[in-house]
Amino acid sequence: MTGEYHHISVMVEKVIEILNVKSGGIYLDATLGGGGHSEAILRSGGVVVALDMDDEAVANARRLEEAYKDRFFVFKGNFRDAFRFCKMAGFERVDGVIADLGLSSNQLENEGRGFSFLRGGPLDMRFDVQSGKTAYELMSELSVDEIAYGLKTFADIRRDRKLAIYIKDYFSRRMPNDAAKFADYIRASRYVEHNRRIDPATRVFMAIRMMVNNEVDNLTTFLARLPMIAKNDCRVAIITFHSVEDRIVKNIFRKFVKQGIIDTTDIRLRSELLIKKIILPSVEERRENPRSRSAKLRAIRFVEADKED
């Protein structure tokens, strides 16, 4: 990495192996981040269309534009619109897709973003700081029922309504717009689960972040639209970091396989799982990059259906 942007991409070698990257092949990096997966694909001879909603990630990727020129195309945008961005780059379909759904180190360590409760700074949590409501603004507007739904659905929090009432009180009283202070407030609640393995604020922050960025709807839409951009033998690798995302990926992949023939505008596809369950980072990778420890990789392959199918 160059400049101040630093992030270690997860399971890069395994992703390249699963995608079976070939020289001249077209690949979509739907969540660019620090660019580790994109750079590995480029080094293997592939052409990359990269997307990210974060201005810093897009700015950092200019180094790859300079190095690989007409083999790298980067856009600021949401991966739910991947089809449109691929067309803007001049490609109707791609040979492979990688999406790493984890937060980048830059996002976590920048106290102005509000993603981490280990630092102070405003409760923002937006992937795109140029649009949408901040976490503080959104939580101030949502009802107790809406907050409870988010806590239950996105973070599997048991006493969701009682905790939602407690959280709503923080914003109703206009308490400090500060991630560290809000985390302390959460830790003081009797409605969060306390154990040694995870900070009580972790899942609350995750649920709020997912609400702010509409993550579940965006991920579901992105996955459902994959056949629209898949060539014959298109391989897709998705890396998730918590159970809600992993469950969505698992269920949609299984639905594709169960569906059988998928009719698109110009090609009929079928799909098959490339790995039956999940792939985890190696012990060595988890030791060298502790943030990879919760990563799970799933993969699927789309192939053109036989005429008689």
Comparing CA positions, the residue from 261, 264, 238 lying closest to residue 251 is: 238
In the chain, count H helices and then E strands: 14, 8
Q: CA-CA distances (angstroms) from residue 273 to 2, 119, 298?
A: 36, 40, 8
CATH number for the domain formed by residue range(s) 128-212: 1.10.150.170
Q: Quick check: 125 and 134 in contact, CB under 8 A? A: yes
**Residue ranges of the domains in the chain?**
12-105+218-304, 128-212
Comparing CA positions, the residue from 282, 279, 252, 271 lying closest to residue 309 is: 271
Q: CA-CA distances (angstroms) from residue 299 to 57, 97, 252, 256, 268?
A: 25, 10, 11, 12, 20
Segment-wise mean pLDDT, segments of 10 residues, the chain, 309 residues: 61 96 97 94 97 93 92 96 97 97 69 74 92 96 97 92 97 95 94 80 92 96 97 97 94 96 92 93 91 92 82
Distance between CA 21 and CA 153 in Å, rounded?
A: 36
The fold for domain 12-105+218-304 equals Rossmann fold (3.40.50)
pLDDT number for residue 282? 93
> What is the Cβ-side half-sphere exposure of residue 309, based on CA atoms within 13 angstroms?
14
